[in-house]
């Protein structure tokens, strides 16, 4: 039985919550099988098509998700990292009707982009169809709800673009950044070697609010929650030659086992680095950040 409009809105919100929960539990990318496990009041609802890209559950009036496969038959182009141009399905047969309707109703949907691991996807949600380009047979999808604030998201003024880059882009980049860092470091804290992805963060070396704080794996380090906070708070520094340095005053402090074993004993350790050297932290980034720590 088809869901009412109100139910559909509730289910979408609940799906976003479900994805949030999985990510809080450490999951950073999803297989099609993972995305078939969602249930609403006992009823199973797939979040992606078993094979294709545009997913229109029968009981929904508009598209629920779109997915880009690497090397797929469609050329889904990311535009400035803020938008994705997503092609209509080649065979018309109604598949595009619900996608076009998502533009009219501005219902939120999910965009699944290829992860670093094959056959897995990172999730962007809620995203919105911000343009229906019938001439080129594609839609333009805004990767963040904030873009709806712009009168014409495709024609941003310099001020709007700067604001978007400073505030929104970090969030847009986060899912793939986390996947890149987690796979490069094999889900291990680079300082203490803890291996529980639920307790790990993809930390930025140069903060993402900074213009040099790009979301590349070479500006990232996998750190457990405590070492991430200690690094961001300059209790711990990482030198350009990949050595862990603990703040000198903190080294002399006497406290419980967390300070002793968790922080002081990390002083002088060498960072646990990714297997591939081209994924190691950029020395220039470490040096730039280390200056802040040393000051």
Distance in Å, CB of 194 to Zn ion, minimum: 5
- Of 102 and 205, CB closest to Zn ion: 205
Quote the least distance from Cβ 231 to Zn ion, whole Å.
Answer: 10
> Residue 130: in which H helix or E strand, if any?
strand 121-133
Site for Zn ion in 153-192 (CB under 5 A): 189, 191-192
| Closer residue to Zn ion, CB minimum distance, 156 or 181 | 181
Closest C-alpha among 92, 42, 87, 43 to residue 69: 87
Q: How do strand 77-79 and strand 83-87 relate by DSSP bridges?
A: antiparallel
Least gap, CB of 264 to Zn ion (angstroms): 13
Instruction: Report in angstroms how near the CB of residue 222 gets to Zn ion at its nearest.
Output: 9
Our CB check for Zn ion shows the closer of 110 and 263 to be 263
Rounded Cα–Cα distance for residues 140 and 40 (Å): 29
Instruction: Find the shortest distance in angstroms from Cβ 190 to Zn ion.
Output: 8
- Binders of Zn ion in range 186-205 (CB under 5 A): 189, 191-192, 194
Residues in the chain: 295
Considering the complex, state which of residue 101 and residue 243 has its C-beta at the smaller distance from Zn ion.
243
- Judged by CB, which is closer to Zn ion: 189, or 271? 189
Give alpha helix (H) positions in the chain: 5-24, 95-105, 158-167, 169-184, 225-232, 248-252, 257, 283-294
Cα separation of 87 and 96, whole Å? 10
For strands 109-114 and 65-67, give the pairing: parallel
Q: Which alpha helices (DSSP H) does 25-110 contain, by range? A: 95-105
- Going residue by residue from 208 to 237, which x/- string records binding to Zn ion, judged by CB under 5 A? ----------------x--x----------
Rule CB under 5 A: which residues touch Zn ion? 189, 191-192, 194, 224, 227
């Amino acid at each position: 039985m088809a869901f009412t409009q109100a139910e559909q809105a509730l289910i979408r919100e609940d799906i976003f919550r479900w994805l949030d929960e999985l990510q809080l539990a450490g999951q950073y990318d999803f297989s099609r099988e993972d995305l078939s496990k969602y249930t609403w009041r006992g009823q199973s609802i797939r979040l992606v098509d078993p094979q294709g890209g545009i997913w229109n559950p029968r009981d929904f009036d508009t598209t629920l998700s779109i997915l880009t496969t690497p090397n797929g038959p469609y050329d889904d182009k990311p535009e400035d990292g803020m938008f994705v141009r997503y092609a209509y399905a080649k065979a018309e047969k109604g598949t595009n009707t619900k996608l076009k309707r998502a533009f009219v109703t501005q219902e939120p949907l999910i965009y699944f982009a290829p992860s670093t691991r094959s056959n897995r996807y990172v999730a962007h949600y809620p995203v919105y169809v911000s343009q229906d380009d019938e001439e080129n047979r594609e839609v333009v999808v805004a990767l963040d709800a904030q873009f709806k604030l712009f009168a014409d998201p495709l024609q941003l003024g310099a001020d709007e673009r700067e604001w978007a880059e400073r505030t929104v882009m970090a969030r847009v980049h986060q899912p793939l950044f986390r996947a890149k860092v987690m796979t490069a470091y094999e889900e291990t804290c680079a300082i203490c070697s803890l291996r529980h992805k639920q307790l790990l963060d993809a930390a930025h070396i140069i903060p993402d609010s900074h213009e040099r704080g790009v979301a590349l794996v070479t500006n990232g380090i996998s750190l457990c929650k405590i070492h991430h906070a200690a690094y961001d708070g300059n209790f711990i520094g990482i030198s350009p030659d990949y050595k862990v340095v603990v703040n000198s005053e903190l080294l002399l402090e006497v406290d419980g086992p967390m300070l002793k074993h968790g922080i002081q004993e990390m002083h002088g350790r060498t960072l646990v680095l990714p297997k591939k050297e081209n994924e190691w932290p950029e020395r220039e980034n470490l040096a730039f950040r280390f200056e802040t720590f040393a000051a």
